Structure 1
Amino acid sequence: MAGFSQSFRPNSSFSSPIISSYNSSQQHFLYKLFLLLTLLPLSLALFSFFLQWQSGSIDPITRWSSDYPEMHSSSEIKSSSSIHCDDNLLGQRISPVFPYFRGWNLKFNDTNLRPKGIHVIYRTEQLKEGQAKRLDLKSILIRIWNESWLSNFFYKPCNNELFVKQTLNMEMAIGMATDAGMEWIFHLDTDELLHPAGTRGYSVTELLMDVPADVDMIVFSNYESAVERSDIKEPFSEVSMFKKNFDHLPKETYFGHYKESTRGNPNYFLTYGNGKAAARIQNQLRPNGAHRWHNYVKRPKEIKMEEAAVLHYTYSKFSDLTSRHDRCGCKPTKEDVKRCFMLDFDRAAFIIASTATEEEMLRWYQEHVVWNDKTLKQKLLKHGILDRIYAPMDIIQGLRETGVFASVIASAQTAASNRSDSDKNVNVGKSFPRKIGIENPGNTRRKVLKDVGELEQLQAIPPLSPPGPNHW
C-alpha cells in the first residue's frame, strides 16, 4: 500500500506553478468582482442624481411625505390632520400606492389648461322620450327592446329602471365609440374610478397595450371605499382606505375574517362585488347589463385583471344615505323594497332614510358605514383586507390646482344655460348613425336568437354581492 500511495503522490516541482497560477487567477477574479460591486452602486447613484438635477422638479414622494401622516413615524406626527389614517403600526413608514415615475407633470402653472377628450351627452327630454318610445333611436336600441336578455328588468321601479337606463346608454356609447374609431369601451358610474395598478406609468393606455389581441373583454374587480368619517364632502379627495375584492384575496383570508369585515351588515361589501368590465370595440358588441359586455354572434373571451381595479366610492357621504328616500316611490317595507332594490344594504338604507329622523340616520350611518374602530382597521389592514390607496387623492389635488375642475364645472354650466330650443329639437337618432343592417325591426329577436344559438338563455348580469360564508 505504501508503494501504491507513493506512485500517485504529486510531484512538488510540477504542482507549485499550477497552484500559484490558480491562486493568482482567483485573486484577480475577486478583485474584479469587488471593483464591480463598488462602482455599480456609485454609478447608479450618480445617474439618479443627474436625472434629478436635470428635471429640476419636486419628487412626488417627498411631496407626499408632507401631505399624509402615514409617511412619518408616529413620533413625528404632532398635530391632527384632516385625513384620518390609523394603520401606522409600531411607527412604521408606509409607502403610498401611487408609483413614482418620471415624466408625469400636470403643469400646475398653466392657467390655460382645459379639459380635453370629454364629450358630454345631456339627458334631454327628447333623449328620454326616444329611449322610452323606442322610435328615434330604433337603429341602435331596437334590439334591446325586442329581446329577452334584459326583459326581466323592464317596467320595474328604482334600481331596475336605473339598470335599464344604464344599459341603453351603454348601447348608445358603443355606436359613438365605433364612429370615433375607439378600441375599448368602459362603463363606470360617477362614484367610480379606474385604478390601473400594476403599470409603471399609472396609465390606462399602458394597461390595455398588454392585453392579448384575441381578448374581447377585461373584468376589473371592484374595491369598495371604507370611509373613516361621517363629514366627507369630496370622496375622491378625502377617502384613502378601501376594502379589497374577494378576487384579490386568498380564500382563507377572506372567509377567515368575513364576519369582522361585514361589521353586522348583510354582505362583505355594502353594494355590488362583481366588478365592472371593459370591452374591445368590434362588430355585434352589446352590453350585458351594467357590469358586463357580450356579443350577438360569439361568446367573448375574457380575462380578469390581477392588480388593476375599479374603486367604488359607495355611500361615502352621509347625504348618499339621506337622499335615498327621494329616489323612487317605493314603500319603506321589507316586502316592497325587494321589488325596488337588488341588494340587501340598499334596501335597509332606503327604509332607514324613509322612516328615521336625521339623528337616527346619522347614528345608523356611523354604525354601518363609518369605520371608527381603530383596532379593527389595523387588524384588517395588516391582513390585506383593507388597503390604503392614495393615488386618486394626489391626482385630484393636482387637477384642482391646475383649475381643471373649475373649468369643467364652468363649461358645463355655460353649455346648460346656452342650450337653445334648436339644440333640443335635433333628431337624436341622427347623432348616432351606426347601422346594424336590420330591415324589419319586428324580426330582430327571431333573427338574433337564430345567430347565437346556445346563447339564447343568457340573462343580463345585475349587480351581485360578493360570496358569503356558504360559498366556502
Structure 2
Amino acid sequence: MKTALVLTVKNEKRLLRDNLLYHRALGAHRIFVYFDGTTDDGKASIEDLDFVTIQDSVSGDVYAHLSYLEKFTKNAVEHHTARQCLNTYDAIQHCKKEGVEWLISLDADELVCLDFNQKQSFAEFFDTISKDTAIVNFKVFEVLQRKLYYNNVLEEETLFKTTSSFKNRFKAVKKSVFNPFTKEHQSFCYWYGQHLGKAALRVSNDIIPKNVHRYKTISGAPLKNVTRLGLLHYHAYDAEDFIKKFKNFKKRANTYLSGNTVDVLKLLLRDVVNQPSISPKDLEDYFKHYIMFSPKEVRRLLKNRWGYLFRYKPALIQKITSVREVFKNIERINKT
C-alpha cells in the first residue's frame, strides 16, 4: 500500500526539509511539493531528496476545461487556498499513475501524528481502515507557543492544545491581545489557527477537493469517512515564524474562498505585522507579550482546572512525544 503527501509551500525553509524527512520515516512513498510564490531557499533545501517531486503551483488555466473545478480555477489568482486545491487535484493525477492508494494534503507547518507516544507507520495505520472508507479526517492539535525562539520546534516541543472552541463561554480559555489600532485589549481563544484539520483521501477518479480540509465526489455520491488522530499544527510557533507567517498573509483577501470573513484575530495579526513603521524587535516583543504563553500560563493550563473543583475534558493540553522519537531515529540513520 502506497501513501503520498502533497504540500503547498511559501517561505517554509525552516520546517520544510524536516517535515518531509519525518513523513518519509512514516513510510510516505512520494511527496509532491508545490511552491507558491516562495522567495526563500526552500527549493534548494530539498532538491536532493529523491522521493520528492518539486514544481510551482498549478495555474488555473491548466484545469479551466474541467467544470467541476471552476470554483478553484476562477479564483486561483486571488486565493491561495484555490491554488492549494488545484495542487492537490494535480497530485491526485500523479498518484493514479504511480499506483498510490492514499494521498494526504498538508501545509509545511503540519505533521501527521498517528500515535501520541510511539511511531506508527502509514502502512500500519491504513491497514486498520476499512476498504469502504474513502476519507480519513485527522483531528488537529495546535502547538503551545511557549518559547520566543525554537531551533527545531518539531523536535523540541511536546505540548499541544486540544480544544479549539468551548460550548460554555465561562469555561473558555482566553488570551488578551492588544490592538494597537484601537488601543484596546481584546480577548481571544487560546487556540489561534485552523481547527478543521486535514484529511487523507483514497485516490480515485471521482474524488476531488471540496476545500483544503475536506473532499467530495464529482458525481455527488456520498463518501464514507472516519475521524482519527491526528494532525499537529505548528502555527506561529515562535516570534520568527509569527512574523514570517503574517508577512505571507499581507496580500491575502479578507474573505475565505467560501465567502466567509477571515477570522478577526488573523486579520488583526496580519495588520499588526505589516505596519510599515513597526520594527522586527517590536514584533518580537508583541509576540512575547500577547501570543506566547508565559511559564505561569503554561502551569495553569497543565493544571487543567475550571474553578476549584472541575477539570476540563478533554484536558486542555496533550503531551505528544512520538514525533521527537521519530526524529531521534532519523538522526541515528543520518549518522550511520
Fold-level similarity (TM above 0.5): yes
Q: Deviations over 1:423-465 (max 9, x none)?
A: xxxxxxxxxxxxxxxxxxxxxxxxxxxxxxxxxxxxxxxxxxx
Which structure is higher in strand share?
Answer: 2
- Please give the secondary structure, in 2, of the residue aligned with 1:232: coil
Report what 2:41 is aligned to.
Answer: none
Listed as ranges, the matches of 1:325-404 within 5 Å are 326-327=247-248, 330=251, 338-339=254-255, 342-355=262-275, 356-372=278-294, 373=296, 374-380=298-304, 383=312, 384-403=315-334
Structure 2, unpaired ranges of 5+: 1-25, 27-47, 178-185, 306-310
Q: Distance in 2 between matches of 1:328 and 1:165?
A: 15
Instruction: Give the TM-score of the pair, scaled to structure 2.
Output: 0.68
Q: Deviations over 1:181-233 (max 9, x none)?
A: 11111011111111102798622222211111111111111000002110113
Structure 1, unpaired ranges of 5+: 1-103, 105-114, 331-335, 408-472
Q: Deviations over 1:38-91 (max 9, x none)?
A: xxxxxxxxxxxxxxxxxxxxxxxxxxxxxxxxxxxxxxxxxxxxxxxxxxxxxx
Relative to structure 1, the CA distance from residue 205 to residue 245 in structure 2 (aligned partners, 3 Å threshold; closer, same or farther) is farther
- Please give the secondary structure, in 2, of the residue aligned with 1:269: coil
Q: CA deviation at 1:313?
A: 0.3
Report what 1:208 is aligned to.
Answer: 126
Q: Deviations over 1:135-165 (max 9, x none)?
A: xx44xx63268634x4784542xxx2x2112
Alignment of 1:258 onto 2:172:
yes
Instruction: State the identity %.
Output: 15
Listed as ranges, the matches of 1:104-143 within 5 Å are 118-123=51-56, 131-132=59-60, 134=61, 137-138=62-63, 142-143=65-66
How many aligned positions are there?
266
Report what 1:289 is aligned to.
Answer: 211
Larger of the two Rg values belongs to structure: 1
Letter in 1 for 2:237: S
Relative to structure 1, the CA distance from residue 166 to residue 185 in structure 2 (aligned partners, 3 Å threshold; closer, same or farther) is same
Q: CA deviation at 1:234?
A: 1.5
Report what 1:320 is aligned to.
Answer: 241
Instruction: Give the TM-score of the pair, scaled to structure 1.
Output: 0.50
CA RMSD of aligned residues (A): 3.3
Q: Distance in 1 between matches of 2:239 and 2:253?
A: 21
- 2:113·2:230 contact (CA, 8 Å) conserved in 1? yes
Q: Distance in 2 between matches of 1:172 and 1:302?
A: 22
Q: Distance in 2 between matches of 1:198 and 1:239?
A: 13
Alignment of 1:299 onto 2:222:
yes
Report what 1:276 is aligned to.
Answer: 198
Q: CA deviation at 1:393?
A: 1.8
Relative to structure 1, the CA distance from residue 304 to residue 121 in structure 2 (aligned partners, 3 Å threshold; closer, same or farther) is same
- 1:271·1:345 contact (CA, 8 Å) conserved in 2? no
Q: Distance in 1 between matches of 2:203 and 2:105?
A: 13
Q: CA deviation at 1:345?
A: 2.7
Report what 2:140 is aligned to.
Answer: 222
Q: 196-205 or 394-403, which moves further after superposition? A: 196-205
Letter in 2 for 1:118: F
Letter in 1 for 2:171: H
